[in-house]
Amino acid sequence: MAAISASLVKELRDRTGLGMLDCKRALKDAEGDIEKAIDELRKSSGMKAAKKAGRVAAEGVVLVRAADGYAQVLEVNSETDFVARDDSFKAFAGAVADKAFADRTTDVAAVMAGDLENSREALVQKIGENISPRRIGELTSETVGSYVHGNERIAVLVALKGGDQELAKDVAMHIAAVNPQFVAPENVSEEVIAKESDIIKAQPDMAGKPENIVDKMIQGRIKKFLSEISLTEQAFVKNPELTVGKLVKDAGAEIVDFVRFEVGDGIEKEEKDFATEVAEQLAGK
């Protein structure tokens, strides 16, 4: 048979949204018959989506939905940042966020059951990457504020007792920038403190010092450690002369809780050089 022309590959790609290599392979299998190629691609769409699902998706976006003292933050992953900026991907992520918020659920599997899973599989086939809603967080309180960073990679929810939306947003922006681990020192577990104490005690400058001196040095460093990881003790990013705790207290409010999502946090992403990736695509992997 004659070689598959670039124009035929482009036509199939335009009509299906699939990648160039997939289109060229489908046309080759169909001996250049574009309608037959489309039929075969439609038949294999479920298989395509399942095959892509095993690949690591560590990029993506985070979204927030909030109303009437209730808020959710959602992470939807893709394999590349390029796809995370795609309008079709963003529309899908928005639909997932809307459904989760409407149902008031953080169960990703329940949200994806039915039409949204079909939409996900269709989008995987079109884009050629694994796409996966990963996690949903929620907060309910008297005052709930939120902040999504401009790149849509970090999102924060903050629950306050008292205060207003402006205060909550300021605190959320601080959390996005500084990434505290706990609301206040008293929320830090004994396990975390004990682990840090062991680390401090093993540091070189502790060697040879009397036990009472070591204990005092550990106490001082633990106090500093707790102030660094606790939201209320951190210097407020907009005014470093003020702690976040004092900022909130002066406004007659109290921080109840917060949730911070950062895209890909905790996902082990496989590093692969570009040449290897191209070679694998050409080999049909």
Predicted local confidence at residue 116, as pLDDT: 94
Q: Which of 138, 140, 186, 142 is nearest to 167 (CA)?
A: 142
Q: How confident is the model at residue 14 (pLDDT cuts 50, 70, 90)?
A: confident
For the chain, give every domain's residue range.
6-43, 56-140
- Per the DSSP assignment, residues forming a β-bridge with 125 are none
N residues, the chain:
285
Predicted local confidence at residue 205, as pLDDT: 85
CB 231 within 8 A of CB 175: yes
Kindly state the average pLDDT of the residues 48-55: 63
CATH tag, 56-140: 3.30.479.20
Q: Which of 250, 263, 202 is nearest to 58 (CA)?
A: 263
Same fold, 6-43 and 56-140: no
How would you classify the pairing of strands 154-161 and 143-148? antiparallel
Give the DSSP H/E element, type plus range, for residue 133: strand 132-140
pLDDT of 218-261, one tens digit each?
899 999 999 999 999 999 999 999 999 999 999 999 999 999 99
Kindly state the average pLDDT of the residues 152-158: 97
pLDDT at 208 over 90: no
- Flag whether the pTM goes above 0.85: no
pLDDT of 166-203, one tens digit each?
999 999 999 999 999 999 999 999 999 999 988 888 88
Q: Reply yes or no on domain 6-43 having CATH 2.160.10.10.
A: no
Predicted local confidence at residue 201, as pLDDT: 85
Kindly state the average pLDDT of the residues 62-86: 95
In the chain, pLDDT over 70 holds for what percent of residues? 88
